[in-house]
Amino acid sequence: MKRALLTVLTVPALYLLAAFVGSLIPVNRGWHEPERGVTIYLIDNGVHADIVMPIAAQGLDWRPLIPFADFAAVDPNASFIVFGAGERRVYLNTPTWWDLTPRTAWAALTGGERVMHVAYVPAPGAEVRQIRLRPEEYRRLWAAVRESFRLDHSGRPVHIQHPGYGPSDTFYVGVGRANMFRTCNSWAGERLRLAGIRTGLWTPFAHGLLWRYRRYSPLQST
């Protein structure tokens, strides 16, 4: 019994230690934020982090790939698009944290199909960090996010018929699987790494991802 209890306690402790160390070890060490460029944002609710990008910048426009027709009603003042990745059952069955069941939480830990959550919004929102990117970094980030969607035979993301959490958000089939090692936050960190931005080696938790970046200030958002 003591050995079983020790194992039960040791595994989570090792996971938390690895997450802490992984968030401190930097990749793309030589990167520094430019004085001018395209600003993107990271938002979080304390648990889950999303990437927020301009709808159109550097000649790249998300609307042909993610059409308004896939949404119930996009805000006419929307200027930004929000991307998040997660496990299918967690995303589709938990509109609020109060809807999270032990079975769904277990699915998030053990793994399932990755789903992309997308929303068009007029502003980045609250609890925001901002990162200014060079044009080539922004283009790499755009490509890395796009590659997270499973595409159909016509090159369009596979839309999931689900009401979403509101009129301005929806879901698409993602590439790969999501689990305790490939979390929503590690997905966001991987996108930043692929863009060439300094980030943590492994960032399964939101705080481990966000601490490196500037807090959002509307007066300094360009």
pLDDT in tens, 83-121: 999 999 888 887 666 677 777 777 777 888 999 999 999
- Predicted TM-score (pTM) of the model is 0.90
Q: Which pLDDT score, from 0 to 100, does residue 39 have?
A: 96
Q: Which pLDDT score, from 0 to 100, does residue 220 have?
A: 53
Q: Which pLDDT score, from 0 to 100, does residue 219 have?
A: 55
Whether the per-residue pLDDT at 221 is higher than 60: the answer is no
Cβ atoms 23, 205 nearer than 8 A: yes
198 pLDDT band (50/70/90 cuts)? Answer: very high
The range of the structural domain enclosing residue 47 comes to 2-28+37-220
Closest CA to 166 of 42, 72, 88: 72
Q: Which residue type, as a one-letter code, is found at position 96?
A: T
Cβ atoms 165, 82 nearer than 8 A: no
Region 25-41: what's the mean pLDDT? 96
Helices (H), the chain: 2-24, 88-93, 102-110, 135-146, 184-195, 206-210
Q: Which residue type, as a one-letter code, is found at position 115?
A: V
Whole-angstrom distance, CA of residue 88 vs CA of residue 116: 9
Whole-angstrom distance, CA of residue 80 vs CA of residue 67: 13
Looking at residue 149, the DSSP 8-state letter turns out to be B
Q: Which pLDDT score, from 0 to 100, does residue 22 have?
A: 95
Write the pLDDT tens digit of every residue in 120-143. Answer: 999 997 779 999 999 999 999 999
**E strand segments, 45-106:** 49-54, 56-57, 60-61, 80-87
- The two tokens of residue 61 are 């426009």
Whole-angstrom distance, CA of residue 189 vs CA of residue 206: 10
Q: Which pLDDT score, from 0 to 100, does residue 94 have?
A: 77
Q: What percent of the chain has pLDDT over 90?
A: 76
Number of domains in the chain: 1
Q: Which pLDDT score, from 0 to 100, does residue 111 have?
A: 80
Q: Which pLDDT score, from 0 to 100, does residue 5 have?
A: 67
Give per-residue burial for 68-90: e unless 16+ CB within 10 Å, then b: eebbeebeeebebbbbbbbbbbb
